[in-house]
Amino acid sequence: MKKTIIDNPGKPVTKKANSGRREFIKRASTGTAGILAAGTAPYAFSQTNPIKWRLQTYSGAPLGAHVIKPQIEAFNRAAHGQMEIELYYADQLVPTDELFRAMQNGTIDAVQSDDATMASPVDINVFGGYFPFSTRYSLDLPVLFKYYGLNEIWAEAYGEIEGVEWLGAGAWDPCHIFTKDPIRSLADMKGKRVFGVPTAGRFLSRYGLVPVTLPWDDIEVAIQTGELDGVAWCGFTEAYEVGWADVCNYALLNNVTGAWCGSYFANTKSWEAVPAPLQELFKLSVDSSHYYRQVWYWGGEAKLRVEGDKMELTEIPAAEWDTVVKDAEEFWDEMASISPRAAKVVQIFKDYTAVMEKAGVPYRYS
């Protein structure tokens, strides 16, 4: 009779069977170790050979600390050594108006900018940045992209351009005008030289405002020396954050549009060299950045209009400003004539505006 060893009360196990169990566990352990080693191998390899990207943003360092730096730092941590993005600010590698070409030819791997500022060679570039009165609030923009067809239109337009991937758009702050001398009427705009986003500047030039293009880091000094009279580039949050509120004396409450439209782009070869899980991780980090900005700008705009003490608030009377809003309709039609695709974008803006006005509070108050 075989001797039994009781390792589980009520269930006898033979010595031979127990020996077989130990052998099975031994083999299983060896296999598990091999699987674990294989599973960690990509990380071990990637930490010595990570994918490297160079990404340049349209913004200078003070603003970049909010609009992109947290995202890139979070992505680099989460990438676990498999990929590393080096972040560069406005004009550090190439001038902002050369960003698109530099990305297309692989000088840089990715870009955060609006279409107009970086001179994208697409027929919809005028809608990047600030398109006059196309939005009232920052949430309008992502809704237009997600539910009204702008995602598909942007993807189609950039899909026709070799070497570049459009990765998605998000909203920034509203467009206000900050100046050394006050603007209290449309006549006060005449002759004022301002740094601004191309499309908004093009529209405002009909009232005598003079758009000026300079490197981002030169703006504060240019206002101090009188080369510029102000900026039409951002909202209150940016003006205070980057130092422009320190050199401008007045802030015009009438805004040209409710949200800046900016996007992320990548060189096609650079994007295709990134494994699918890291592509998804990058897109998630972009969404996180969009959310960060929504909160930062929304809270900042209100707080600084009420509590900010660096600039005196001015306002063009409603009756006069209404003529500007009306003029925008003509401007929209001019931009629609660029191409059938541009006409689709304008029609979307018109349809969306009609829906919001009919919806009323809280979507539109007037």
Tens digits of residue pLDDT in 155-184: 999 999 999 999 999 999 999 999 999 999
Q: Looking at residue 11, what is its pLDDT?
A: 37
The mean pLDDT value for 126-149 works out to 97
Residue 36 pLDDT grade (very low, low, confident, very high; cuts 50, 70, 90): very low
pTM of the full structure: 0.85
- Determine phi and psi for 181, rounding to 5 degrees: -110, 150
Residue 21 pLDDT grade (very low, low, confident, very high; cuts 50, 70, 90): very low
Give yes or no for a contact between 183 and 250, defined as CB atoms under 8 angstroms apart. Answer: yes
Q: Looking at residue 322, what is its pLDDT?
A: 96
Residue 29 pLDDT > 50: no
What domains appear along the chain, each with residue ranges and CATH number? 48-171+261-302 (3.40.190.170), 176-258+308-359 (3.40.190.170)
The mean pLDDT value for 92-97 works out to 95
Is residue 14 helix, strand or coil? strand
45 against 311, higher pLDDT:
311
The mean pLDDT value for 123-152 works out to 97
Q: Looking at residue 46, what is its pLDDT?
A: 56
pLDDT digits (tens, 9 = 90+) for 287-297: 999 999 999 99
- Determine phi and psi for 183, rounding to 5 degrees: -120, 115
Q: Looking at residue 165, what is its pLDDT?
A: 98
Stretch among 34-38, 275-279, 311-315, 360-364 having the lowest mean pLDDT: 34-38
The mean pLDDT value for 104-133 works out to 97
Residue 43 pLDDT grade (very low, low, confident, very high; cuts 50, 70, 90): very low
Residue 42 pLDDT > 70: no
Q: Looking at residue 310, what is its pLDDT?
A: 98
Residue 49 pLDDT grade (very low, low, confident, very high; cuts 50, 70, 90): confident
Is residue 138 helix, strand or coil? coil
Residue 263 pLDDT grade (very low, low, confident, very high; cuts 50, 70, 90): very high
For β-strands 83-88 and 51-57, DSSP reports them as: parallel
The mean pLDDT value for 193-220 works out to 94
Q: Looking at residue 83, what is its pLDDT?
A: 98
Share of the chain above pLDDT 70, in %: 87
Residue 236 pLDDT > 90: yes
**Residue 122 to residue 100: CA distance in whole angstroms:** 11
Give yes or no for a contact between 85 and 75, defined as CB atoms under 8 angstroms apart. Answer: yes
Taking each helix axis from N to C end, the angle separating 150-159 and 340-359, rounded to the nearest 10 degrees, works out to 160
**Residue 135 to residue 142: CA distance in whole angstroms:** 10
Q: Looking at residue 163, what is its pLDDT?
A: 97
Tell the burial category of 313 from Cβ atoms under 10 Å away from its Cβ (0-12, 13-18, 19+). Answer: middle
Residue 12 pLDDT > 70: no
pLDDT digits (tens, 9 = 90+) for 303-346: 999 999 999 999 999 999 999 999 999 999 999 999 999 999 99
